[in-house]
Structure 1
Amino acid sequence: MSVTDRPVWLGRPKPVAVALKALALLLISGVVVFPFLVVVSTSLATKAQIDANGGYVLWPTSISFDAYRQIFDGTQVSRSVVISVGITVAGTAFSLFCTVLAAYGLSRRGSLFQRGLLTFVLLTLLFGPGMIPVYLMVKQLGMLNTYWALIIPGAVSAFNIVIIRGFIQGIPQELFDAARMDGAGEWRILWSIVLPLSKAVIAVVGLFLAVGYWNNYFGPLLYLNDSQMWPLQLVMRSFVLENTITTTATQLPGHVTPPAQSIQMALVVIATVPILCVYPFLTKHMSKGMLTGAIKG
């Protein structure tokens, strides 16, 4: 094939096209970075700077950590962060365990009730149970006002099962046959072959699950009656609506309370940073996990 016969996408881009792509990338990056910069800057700004800039600061001239001190000094935010981390870690681990087991069983032809169970799982993608039946189930199981109510009802998702099942089906059958000839059982095959080869899709699904557990606020609002058990997202919602945070700290003489805008933005930063810290370690698995799990060929 000559140079002139090559497809358009294989040719060298023109300088104008490169410049337009760079400009578009800069605009998109600005749209993404600008709001986050405003959030961080406002959380670090003083009351005088916020008043002078109409409530939000793009770049603070002097940095103040009063909002963060106010949040973590005897308030329920410190406890809610620990609760959110615990729920996210425990929920993600439990969900991945159940999802991987279900996906592996449904990917093996001839397993017990494989076709019927697969049909039942796929039907849940079309027909959801609804809020009231789930609440009644949680109540009947005695999980109200417990953290189990935030983990168990949404532990298994049919979408995640389908993604991981498709990935496992892409593993060469010869590997399973060779392992069985060497005397390996199903648990050994799952642990030694399937899990190491499925790191990409497990990382992707794990990220989806972690973000879902971390950002969940409606579940705690529905199932938790004790405010001392609230996770971070529900504490943030309470502050945004009522502009108050439960505190046990003593107000010191001469202490200046940070403005509400700084505390709100500081809460947003605290809720966003953990996911931002985890996401870069999983980005290399994102495209491979999604494409391999969703496309068969």
Structure 2
Amino acid sequence: MSQQTIKDSGSDRLFIIFIYLFLTAVLVVVLYPLVYILSASLSSPSAVAAGKVWLLPVDFSLEGFKAVFSQSSVLRGYANTLFYTTLGTTINIILTIMIAYPLSRKTFVGRGIIMFLLVFTMLFEGGLIPLYLTVKNLGMLDSIWAMLLPNALMVWQVIIARTFFQMTIPEELSEAAQLDGCSDLAFMLKIVLPLSKPIVAVLILMYAVFHWNSYFEALMFLSSRELYPLQLVLREIVIMNTVDISNITDVASYSAQLNLANQLKYSLIVLTTLPILLIYPFVQKHFVRGMLIGSVKE
């Protein structure tokens, strides 16, 4: 039998062409600022100030990155941020799974009340001053725990994880495991977690991005410079590199410092976004699947 192909009508082909053109335009709008920032960070400060950079680097230079890494506090801030992100994400994942999985089981007594209390915290919060007083009374001020424990659990991620468990881990699977003598902990470690890689990838990405960009908590709770995360260190660098006109009498020196201060912003953006951009491709396939499954409500 010869296979017959269904040909698209003229209106269908026109619609597909329009979709491709629209998506291409969206791609250019989203991608161009990223390319421009990267090119500006790799160009000379004078070329950036003169507006010569459009797409590719002009007069290749690493002066912006050299100015950033000339500060010893940057490496310490990088190390602190990596520590906060790694440990904080680990705590988040453990606590989220520990509360989301029991809430997904129909046999769990009181799950409706607990879920109501969790959602209630999304509608009302104590405010900034009560949060500060709580952290202070717990003795966590100016410590690593001030960056980790106040945000150890996030309700929206709990809802996503709970929905995922409800749809992918049937009650019959748990009953079959119990008949085979499997304990609850063994069932969680050997069955639930291997089947939950997509949602775990989603949670890791969400929590890691939050901790990597964490800024306000450090500004509010930390006073020791040795504990500053990268975001706070880079903020200080931008402030310190602000040109003070009153202290400069030479026009050429003023122009050079002003150009370097402007280019410094692009270098800082690249440094802060590059790690997340490098991690995302490795979890992207799990991220899409987990979001599609975990976002479907009961």
The match for 1:47 among 40, 45, 48 is 45
Q: Give the root-mean-square deviation of aligned CA atoms.
A: 2.3
TM-score, scaled relative to structure 1: 0.86
Q: Which moved more, 1:83-92 or 1:124-133?
A: 124-133
Match of 1:261 in 2: 262
Q: Which amino acid aligns with 1:213?
A: H
Residues 132-173 of structure 1, C-alpha deviation per residue, up to 9 Å, x if partnerless? 211111101111111111111111011111111111112222
Match of 1:229 in 2: 227
Match of 2:130 in 1: 133
The match for 2:197 among 196, 199, 202 is 199
What SS does the aligned partner of 1:259 have?
helix
The match for 2:85 among 85, 88, 102 is 88
1:70 CA displacement: 2.3
Q: Which amino acid aligns with 2:120?
A: L
Answer yes or no: is 1:153 the counterpart of 2:150: yes
Distance in structure 1 (CA, Å) of the matches to 2:10 and 2:270 = 42
What SS does the aligned partner of 1:129 have?
coil
Match of 2:15 in 1: 17
Match of 1:271 in 2: 272
Moved >4 Å (runs of 4+): 10-13
Distance in structure 2 (CA, Å) of the matches to 1:235 and 1:105 = 40
1:15 CA displacement: 2.8
Q: Which amino acid aligns with 1:62?
A: D
Distance in structure 2 (CA, Å) of the matches to 1:282 and 1:85 = 18
Q: How much identity, in percent, do the aligned residues show?
A: 35
Residues 167-208 of structure 1, C-alpha deviation per residue, up to 9 Å, x if partnerless? 111222221111000111111111111111111111112111
Q: Which amino acid aligns with 1:100?
A: I
Distance in structure 2 (CA, Å) of the matches to 1:286 and 1:50 = 36
Answer yes or no: is 1:114 the counterpart of 2:111: yes
The match for 1:181 among 176, 179, 182 is 179
Match of 2:102 in 1: 105
What SS does the aligned partner of 2:238 have?
helix
Q: Which moved more, 1:41-50 or 1:155-164?
A: 41-50
CA contact (8 A) 2:238 2:264 kept: no
Q: Which amino acid aligns with 1:273?
A: L
1:119 CA displacement: 2.3
CA contact (8 A) 1:42 1:261 kept: no
Q: Which amino acid aligns with 1:84?
A: T
Counterpart mapping for 1:208-227 below 5 A: 208-227=206-225
The match for 2:28 among 21, 27, 30 is 30
Q: Which amino acid aligns with 2:194?
A: P
Match of 1:294 in 2: 295
Match of 2:75 in 1: 78
Q: Which moved more, 1:35-44 or 1:234-243?
A: 234-243
CA contact (8 A) 2:36 2:54 kept: yes
CA contact (8 A) 1:45 1:60 kept: yes
The structure with the largest helix share of the pair is: 2
1:83 CA displacement: 1.0
